[in-house]
Structures are given as structure tokens and as C-alpha cells.
């Protein structure tokens, strides 16, 4: 059974840093592109970043470029999001999502349950 479990969310002051993790199980992690998606309280979904299975290609949304870093450890089937220079507007539930290997691979077939990051003084 495919499972994705995020952790690391916390209350953090503006300007601070936080590292999120996503533990994957039930599939060959290194074969899949992985993404981070966030959702501010009561708001819509926003794509954040993605990383290829071997870590060789990374892309970011403009809103986080230069502040966030996505990475992975395939030996531990884990995905990470290092978040620096956090702002109030980064407050959100952060989901990790698996991109399907079927077809174009441009859609998510599994999501985690999310971890809440609150940026506030």
C-alpha cells in the first residue's frame, strides 16, 4: 500500500527556517517525481516544487525560489523541503504528492495528509 506521511510542521517566527519531511512507503521511491503542494487556511492549492526520481531536475514556484529547497534521500525513501526566510504568507498545510509514472506523469496519484506550517510572531 502506497503511503506518504509528512512531518516537521510547526509554529515558526517570520524569518525563521523549517525542514519538512515526507516518508514514503509501498513503492519504489526512486522511480517517481515527487512534489510539494501547499494550501493556506481556507484557500486553494498552490504548487511549490518538484524533484525528479534521481534528484537531477528540480523546479520551484516563483514565490519560493531562492528561499525553499527540495531534496530527497532515495535510500531512506524520503522527500524534504527546507524552508528559509519564512514569511507570514508561507503559512499553510504542506502536502507531498507523488506524480504518476503513467502517461505524461503530470498528475498526482497519491497525496500525503499534510503538515501544518504556521509563520507568526
Partner 1 sequence: QSALTQPASVSGSPGQSITISCTGTTSDIGYYDYVSWYQQRPGTAPKLIIYEVTNRPSGISNRFSGSKSGNTASLTISGLQVDDEGDYYCKSYTRSTTYVFGTGTVVTVL
The residue among 15 and 101 lying less far from partner 1, judged by its C-beta, is 101
At its nearest, how many Å lie between partner 1 and the CB of residue 113? Answer: 6
The whole-angstrom distance between residue 67's C-alpha and the CA centroid of its chain comes to 14
> Of the two residues 50 and 72, which places its CB atom closer to partner 1 in the complex?
50
Nearest CB to partner 1, comparing residues 15 and 58 = 58
Residue 82 near residue 16 (C-beta atoms within 8 A): no
**Site for partner 1, rule CB under 8 A:** 35, 37, 44-47, 50, 59-62, 95, 100, 103-104, 106-109, 111-114
Q: How far is the CB of 105 from partner 1 (least distance, A)?
A: 9
Distance of CA 16 to the CA centre of its chain: 18
Amino acid at each position: 500500500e502506497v503511503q506518504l506521511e509528512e512531518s516537521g510542521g510547526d509554529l515558526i517566527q517570520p524569518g525563521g527556517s523549517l525542514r519538512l519531511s515526507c516518508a514514503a512507503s509501498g513503492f519504489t521511491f526512486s522511480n517517481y517525481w515527487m512534489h510539494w503542494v501547499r494550501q493556506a487556511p481556507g484557500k486553494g492549492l498552490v504548487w511549490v516544487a518538484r524533484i525528479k526520481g534521481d534528484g537531477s531536475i528540480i523546479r520551484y514556484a516563483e514565490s519560493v525560489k531562492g528561499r525553499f529547497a527540495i531534496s530527497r534521500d532515495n535510500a531512506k525513501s524520503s522527500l524534504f523541503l527546507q524552508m528559509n526566510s519564512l514569511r507570514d504568507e508561507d503559512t499553510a498545510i504542506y502536502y507531498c504528492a507523488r506524480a504518476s509514472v503513467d502517461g505524461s506523469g503530470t498528475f498526482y496519484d497519491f497525496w500525503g495528509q499534510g503538515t501544518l506550517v504556521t509563520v507568526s510572531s
